[in-house]
Chains A and B, each alone.
Chain A
Amino acid sequence: MATAKTDKAKEIRNAGKEDIHPMEGLLRMDRMPHIWCPSCGIGLAVTAFTAALEKAGLDPNMVSIISGIGCTGRVAGYVKLDSFHTTHGRPIAFATGIKVGNPKVKVVVFSGDGDLIAIGGNHFIHAARRNIDMLVICVNNFIYAMTGGQVAPTTPLAAFATTSPYGCVEPPFNIPYIADSSGAVYVARWTTLHIRRLTKSLTEALQKTGFSVVEVISPCAMYYGRTNRLGDGLDLMRFYHDNVEIRHGEDTKNLDIGFQTKIICGTFVDRERPSYMERYNQWAAEAKGAKK
């Protein structure tokens, strides 16, 4: 529904150009349309990220975005930064190489729960331990969606998936808790419904030095929703609306997500710790000063 106000905004933005997307400068429009299903939440996470990038005031030329494999693994390819679409599970390790090779580059890892927490879980905890300066955006849709809805290490207990046809028998990971206990300096969780708060968290995380993790709970109506008869995308968003509780500073131990239970969102960790490069440079300077 076009109002006089939005029309005016569009007019200013376009300034004599054809009708363009407000994020055009940060998206690869020649790659559109994207592959995500209708009502998928990944696009919202990307919108929040591009908005945060503008708000954080970073030079886009000095930001690299690294994805792995999967639905969210496609993000790097749609964002107009230095984009790297890497192997399954390895974007954090790849990003570690970029960061250490050229510490001036801000690295953002944008990938899914399967990529970062299952196959890439080891890299996740170790990059957090080292406190490599990077922002990890983990889109959690509770399922392996690209491959057709298989059970994931984030699938809530008892939820159905194609490879857990009688209900998931494994308890899921609590991502903020892993990040916190491994040493991350910034940990937050939002759903794609909380676009304004998510943008704010991403902006804060981008401005931080150190390993920052933002978990984005995202609706997958096509697989998670359909398999569990949870309705369409709108129903999933409505569920977030009715069942999310915001508790900033909540102990990350208490952030487990059950099947259709309350989801606690907020910023849970925001602390300072020397980053890997800060420590390395300091000790390298000492090594240079030493005789042997």
Chain B
Amino acid sequence: MKANPREVLTGVYYIDGDVASGFGALAAGCKFIGGYPITPSTEAAEAFARVAPKAGAVFIQMEDELGSMAAVVGAVWSGVKSMTITSGPGYSLMQENIGFGAMLETPFVLLNIQRGGPSTGVPTKTGQADMMQSRWGSHGDYEVIAISPDSPQEMFDYTVKAFNLAEKYRCPVMIMSDECVGHMTEKVVIPSASEIEIEPRRLYTGPPAEYMPYKPDEDLVPKMAKAGDGFNLYISGSVHNEKGYPVTVDEYKSVYVRRLVDKIRRNKDKIIELKEEATDDAEVIVVSYGISSRVAIKGIEIARERGIKVGNLRLVTVWPFPDEKVTQLAKKTKAFVVPEINYGQIVFEVSRCSHGHANVVLVPHGGAGVHVPDDIADAIEYAAKEDQKIETVVEFKTRLERTVFEGGHKLKE
């Protein structure tokens, strides 16, 4: 199905990532955003609120993030595509109904413009420390899809894709962006509606009396219905059977929760998108995502000038994690270097999947800024020279860390 021209603001723009994502949501057919203002994500909400009425969409500013997320799940069950927008503290509040949405197999999109944490953290500066929260934030077993764009153009493109994935797999899809990408202003080309592919909702069309809301199709994803269509839906956050009725029998939990995770795990080859370059004969492979993958390009360039064969694996999809790909690369390379704006999150996934075949080096960053490309280059050089097998993740000492923790340097206020 193609996008609706009324919803696509075709043209060439010079806008930031937040705005591009708001326009992307509109193009994807999003008809409802419930949100609560939080820096640095507000521009996306503002952009959508401005253009929504003309496309018959609604932006409602809820009383808090708990309400925003609940309203988004409700709106999806009323039949419309929906999204919410937030950052760190708001993301924490939303976890409750993210799990609820996942349990109900609700297709929705969540844009998280990450900022430095924990708690209030560094409100207007960047971070990538919510990556594990995006996977494990709500209680219980469930799976989500998380995408990490690295430019305003990608913020548009992958917002559309996020909606498509959500509809296809009926699960929460997180756009795990960050302040840098959100506030970065670049050229964004919004194509014509006929060039934008849209995944329609997987609606049930048979007789209402025979409808089973949680009876899966072959790909493990059930067909959906909506309120007001005469189905007498029973949709519950409790573990339920195919009819939607709550059950407390062990078997149902195994069957139902198993499918909740399996529908993503078994379809991961279709979901995962990676950008891979020069990994075939690489001594060292840089694994990165979001803004760090933009910075890594420069770091890789410097390392190559130093004569090191460096490969680049960019995780466009972070969750589900590309286990097999990383394991396969681990067998033919010496080491992975993982720059991320946190003190180690995705690096442990890389380490888990490398199964001791390759060394794994973390280039950490405490947040509120991005890496110095030379740090990434130095980490690559170190990894290339290290001949010993090191079983744990090696934390590379960056310039900043050396200055602060080893030089006895007094921090300037």
Contacts and interface: CB of A to CB of B under 8 A. Distances in A.
Q: Tell me, yes or no, whether A binds B.
A: yes
Interface of A: 28, 30-31, 61-62, 64, 66, 76-77, 80-87, 89-90, 93-102, 104-105, 122-123, 125-126, 280, 283-284, 287-288
A1 to B, nearest CB: 35
Greatest chain A CB density within 10 A among B34, B67, B230, B232 is at: B67
Nearest to B60: A100
A94 B73 contact: yes
Contacts of B63: 93, 122-123, 125-126
A91 to B, nearest CB: 8
Contacts of A80: 232
Contacts of A96: 34, 60, 62, 67, 71, 74
B74 A93 contact: yes
Given A77-B246, A102-B228, A97 B233 contact: no
B232 A97 contact: no
A83 B54 contact: no
Contacts of B226: 102
Contacts of B234: 28, 76-77, 83, 85
Given A93-B62, A93-B67, A102-B80, A87 B232 contact: no
Nearest to B245: A31
A85 B60 contact: no
Given A77-B236, A102-B226, A102-B227, A86 B79 contact: no
A211 B315 CA distance: 47
A101 B235 contact: no
Interface of B: 31-32, 34, 53-54, 56, 58, 60, 62-64, 66-68, 70-80, 82, 96-97, 100, 226-238, 245-246
A97 to B, nearest CB: 3
Contact of A101 (B68, B75, B232): B75
Interface of B is mostly: mixed
A94 B97 CA distance: 10
B238 A83 contact: no
Contact of B74 (A83, A94, A122, A284): A94
Contact of A85 (B62, B64, B70, B236): B236
A101 B236 contact: no
23 contacts: A77-B245, A82-B227, A83-B232, A84-B77, A84-B233, A84-B236, A85-B236, A86-B100, A86-B237, A87-B70, A93-B66, A93-B74, A94-B70, A97-B77, A97-B78, A101-B75, A101-B76, A102-B79, A102-B227, A104-B228, A123-B66, A123-B67, A284-B56
Contacts of B100: 86-87, 90
A86 B230 contact: no
5 closest Cβ contacts across the A-B interface?
A97-B74, A101-B78, A97-B75, A97-B71, A93-B67
A72 to B, nearest CB: 15
A97 B32 contact: yes
A93 B71 contact: yes
A201 B321 CA distance: 55
Nearest to B228: A105
Nearest to A84: B235
